[in-house]
A and B are shown apart, each in its own frame.
Chain A
Amino acid sequence: MLILNCPYCGVDAEETELAAGGEAHLKRFGPGSSDSDFHDYLFMRENPKGVHFERWRHANGCGKWFHAARCTQTLEVFGTYSAQVYEPPQEIRDAITAKRPGWTWRGFE
């Protein structure tokens, strides 16, 4: 069972209270972009074994979206953070580096 701390209401919410929102930090390529960028934006997703960044919504709770960094292999949660950011904050990256030295995910490390 995955338990994530909602950064908005401070509740340690378990999986059944949350709704998964897919991969985090996607950059949108909309009208006017090239076909290959649009294709990648629509269809290409990371599927890592290890460190992963996701969007979650506290659906049966405060209703807010937030980000979570976790390990897909062990279900270890490195941290959760605000939805209003374009990339993982430094303290989350430091927390991951402490436990998974040398990790990379998309362009982040």
Chain B
Amino acid sequence: MSEPISALNHASYDGIAKVEECGLQGMITLRGDLSDKVLAKVVKDATGQKVPGQREALVNGDTGVCWMSTDELLVLVPYAEVEAKLAAMTNALSGTHALAVNVSDARAVIRVSGSSAREVLGKVAPVDFAVDAFQSGQIRRSRLAQVAGAFWMDDAETFRVVCFRSTADYVFKLLKIAAQPGGEVGVY
């Protein structure tokens, strides 16, 4: 069996913020009625979290759940456990109109950390990153320059950015350029 390798294999860059690829992350896209009790139990069993409200991200390390839209959640689990968790999920959801799919290998996760992390993201996404407008616990799906991406904050200075695996190289280089020394804007 070949060994799974993440899109950029832990590439990293140190500038005004540290940009690093996080490696393999188990991800399950879960679609269905978010008010459904069975779905809520499935989320609880897989992650220990409740069903997130609008734009909420309940993430702890490599486990958690993020609100993607009114009928879609992104469930994060450790990469090694994704198949087992998915099987349990599919089994529990058998009588419910819902869909759970393993998308781990279709995505890449990049961490942007440091005191200028807000500035780096602010240069590439049309989102208000002011401290009172975007905080940890929130997720935002938007675009990163020319490609789709989602991001949330793990703490006050750390972002985790999720993008498609096919655009991982583009997003990493984009963030790397935005994080070049001398690129501070001083807005946030």
Interface residues, chain A, with chain B CB atoms under 8 Å away:
8-11, 13-14, 16-17, 60-64
Contacts and interface: CB of A to CB of B under 8 A. Distances in A.
Interface residues of B, number: 11
Interface of B: 54-55, 68-70, 126, 140-143, 148
A14 B54 CA distance: 19
B66 to A, nearest CB: 12
Contact of A11 (B55, B68, B70, B143): B55
A75 to B, nearest CB: 17
B126 A11 contact: no
A17 B127 CA distance: 10
The 6 A-B pairs at the shortest CB distance, nearest first, are namely A62-B69, A60-B143, A61-B141, A14-B126, A8-B70, A60-B148
A54 B177 CA distance: 37
A9 B143 contact: no
Contacts of B70: 8-9, 62, 64
Contacts of A13: 126
B146 to A, nearest CB: 10
15 contacts: A8-B70, A9-B55, A9-B69, A9-B70, A9-B141, A10-B54, A10-B55, A11-B55, A16-B126, A16-B143, A17-B126, A60-B143, A61-B142, A62-B141, A64-B69
A61 B143 CA distance: 8
B54 A60 contact: no
A16 to B, nearest CB: 6
B69 A63 contact: yes
Name the residue in A8, A16, A17 with the highest tally of chain B Cβ atoms < 10 Å from its Cβ: A17
A14 B142 CA distance: 10
Given A9-B69, A17-B126, A60-B141, 9 more contacts: A8-B70, A9-B55, A9-B141, A11-B140, A13-B126, A14-B126, A17-B143, A62-B70, A64-B70
A89 to B, nearest CB: 18
